[in-house]
Amino acid sequence: MARTGALICLALGVAPWLGAPGAPPVLAPALALELRGSTYFARPPWKVDLVSYRTDAGDPLAEYFFTVELDPAAGASLGGLQIRQSEGPDSNLPFSPDRTRAFLGRPRGGGAPIPVEAEFMPREGEVRVRFPQPVPPGSTVTVMLKPWFNPSMPGTYLFQVTAFPDGPNPNPTSLGSARLRIYRPDWR
């Protein structure tokens, strides 16, 4: 009967306490949360970090690293990201989707590469990133976007980042703004 109760709780999305009598309780793993045919994060990621090590205006070697941490109890794997430029003096930043890469971990920390597909939508000013092998809960993932060059206008650039859980009809979660500062080169 206890096993049946645990299965019912899992089917309802409630995390039951499982374990043998007298043993310490163990929390059951979270399942993907599906409601009315849509997939949700149970504990969505809540922020994104953006780092670029080349911040001079016009730099052709720039790379933008967007890092997202997934809670171990996220309840769903990360299926993709939408990265949209929302502010900045230069409103048309062209990206090279075929040079987009992703890996587990943070920039300069090394990590296993993971498959990624990207599409640049110039009219919308956004990059859509999809993970063919979704990133599991508890992981930290970094997506490296490669612009053709840094913006020619120095200033602050903001990117709105949205995370999509893996599953049918994913319900997006806003991760807020990521900020990139571009400087005028100092060639003294």
Q: What is the span of the domain harbouring residue 16?
A: 2-31
Strands 78-87 and 64-69: unpaired
Say whether both 13 and 98 belong to one domain: no
Say whether both 20 and 100 belong to one domain: no
Say whether both 12 and 80 belong to one domain: no
Say whether both 50 and 111 belong to one domain: yes
- Could you count the other beta carbons within 10 Å of the beta carbon of residue 54? 13
What's the rounded Cα separation, in Å, for the pair 114 and 134?
Answer: 9
Exposed e or buried b per residue across 82-97, where buried means at least 16 C-beta atoms within 10 angstroms of its C-beta: bbebeebeeeebebeb
Say whether both 112 and 22 belong to one domain: no
Q: In the prediction, which pLDDT does 33 show?
A: 65
pLDDT tens per residue across span 88-110: 998 878 899 999 999 999 998 87
- Which residue did the predictor score with more confidence, 36 or 166? 166
In this prediction, what percent of the chain has a pLDDT beyond 70? Answer: 80
Q: In the prediction, which pLDDT does 129 show?
A: 98
Domain of residue 149, CATH code: 2.60.40.1290
What's the rounded Cα separation, in Å, for the pair 88 and 58?
Answer: 14
37 confidence band (pLDDT: 50, 70, 90) = confident
pLDDT tens per residue across span 113-134: 999 999 999 888 899 999 999 9
Say whether both 63 and 8 belong to one domain: no
Ramachandran area for residue 19 (φ above 0: left; ψ -120 to 50: alpha; else beta): left
Strand partners, 160: 84, 177
Structural domain includes residue 36: no
27 confidence band (pLDDT: 50, 70, 90) = very low
Structural domain includes residue 188: no
Token code pair at residue 180: 């990139």
Say whether both 106 and 47 belong to one domain: yes
- Which residue did the predictor score with more confidence, 134 or 187? 134
Say whether both 163 and 97 belong to one domain: yes
- Structural domain count, the chain: 2
What's the rounded Cα separation, in Å, for the pair 77 and 10?
Answer: 17
Q: What is the mean pLDDT of residues 21-25?
A: 41
Evaluate the CA torsion angle 161, 94, 65, 85 in order and state its sign: negative
The separation between the first and the last C-alpha atoms of the chain, rounded to the nearest angstrom, is: 78
